[in-house]
Amino acid sequence: MRNIKLTIAYDGTNYLGWQKQKQGPTVQGILEDVLRRILGHKIKLRAAGRTDAGVHALAQVAHFHTTSKRDLETIFRAVNALLPKDIAVLRVEEMDFKFHSQYHALRKTYFYQIYNHPIRNPVLRLYSWWVPEPLDLSAMRACLPYLIGEKDFASFRKSGTDLKSTIRTVYEAQIKRAVGMAHVIRFEITGRGFMRYMVRNIVGALVEVGLGRLSPEDFKAILEARDRSVAPPPAPPQGLFLKGIYYGKKWRAKDYAPKGVRP
């Protein structure tokens, strides 16, 4: 039995998120179908983290087991040839059988794009949250230190979800103006792992601070309240991008897909 790791980019616009479901197309569903056709048996993909409907990924990671003997380059070429254009496999790697895309992820990075201009931007509408009123970036940045460390993020969990623990570790968080994209503000966050809606809930609260409706101290108080009901609603999904997942040097693949391979 082989253990194969995929690095995947997708535009979440036309999907009900990563996780397979009966109501409509999902990235997992499409990928499992394509892999089954290539490998000749049913495939169960496990992703590092699920993304919600409308959320994009620049480098999602998932793994699967297979008895197929097809070489990595063939899998790489065939999967990209059969996938729709809004999903691409960036890399196919042969891993130790113990490797698990979710359990062994050491760090995940997401970013969130805000288009901050009085008039909406038609070509960024699927890749950003349009906030027409000017945002005070200094006030927003003043909130960032409160996010760093091992904290109880219960205030930023998804409403109505039941979780064993709402404690998560955030390593880094920053707010920058995007290079080369006028009026785009990018919030980037790296942590051990995130709860569903956690990044979007943080962005929802940060934007309230940027608009002056909350102070950085209010933001701190919301976080410390550990109560979802005191935090503002989540930012919409289309601004969120899963940027990448880091596994550490332990999990070097035994065999990489050749660089520059063309699908």
User: Is the Cβ of residue 87 or residue 245 nearer to a second copy in the bound state?
Assistant: 87
User: What is the Rg, in whole angstroms, of the alpha carbon atoms belonging to the chain?
Assistant: 19
> Least separation, in Å, of the C-beta of 123 and a second copy?
5
Q: Is residue 88 at the binding interface for a second copy, with CB under 8 A as the rule?
A: yes
> Least separation, in Å, of the C-beta of 13 and a second copy?
9
Check: CB of residue 138 under 8 Å from CB of residue 176. no
Residue with the two structure tokens 């070509």: 123
Contact window for a second copy (CB under 8 A) among 102-110, 142-150, 173-181, 202-210: 173-181
Size of the site for a second copy (CB under 8 A): 31
> Least separation, in Å, of the C-beta of 259 and a second copy?
8
Q: Is residue 53 at the binding interface for a second copy, with CB under 8 A as the rule?
A: no
Cα–Cα distance measured from residue 144 to residue 137, given in angstroms and rounded to the nearest whole number: 11
Nearest to 140 by CA among 68, 189, 196: 189
By CB under 8 A, what part of segment 11-50 binds a second copy? Answer: 11
Check: CB of residue 80 under 8 Å from CB of residue 263. yes
Q: Is residue 240 at the binding interface for a second copy, with CB under 8 A as the rule?
A: no
Q: Is residue 10 at the binding interface for a second copy, with CB under 8 A as the rule?
A: yes
Among 22, 42, 122, 229, binds a second copy (CB under 8 A): 122
Q: Is residue 188 at the binding interface for a second copy, with CB under 8 A as the rule?
A: no
Q: Is residue 260 at the binding interface for a second copy, with CB under 8 A as the rule?
A: yes
- Using DSSP's 3-state secondary structure scheme, residue 249 falls into helix
Sequence-ordered list of residues with C-beta below 8 angstroms from that of 150, at least 6 positions apart, any chain: 167, 168, 169
Q: Is residue 87 at the binding interface for a second copy, with CB under 8 A as the rule?
A: yes
Which tokens is 105 given? 């992820």
Q: Is residue 121 at the binding interface for a second copy, with CB under 8 A as the rule?
A: yes
> Least separation, in Å, of the C-beta of 262 and a second copy?
5
Please give the backbone phi and psi of residue 6, each rounded to the nearest 5 degrees, phi first.
Answer: -115, 140
256 assigned to a ligand binding site:
no
Nearest to 237 by CA among 194, 204, 260: 204
Neighbours of 103 (CB within 10 A): 9
Check: CB of residue 125 under 8 Å from CB of residue 198. no
Q: Is residue 77 at the binding interface for a second copy, with CB under 8 A as the rule?
A: no
Query: Which positions touch a second copy (CB under 8 A)?
Result: 9-11, 56, 58, 80, 85-90, 118-123, 125, 127, 132-133, 178-181, 241, 260-263
Q: Please give the annotated binding residues for substrate, written as ranges.
A: 110
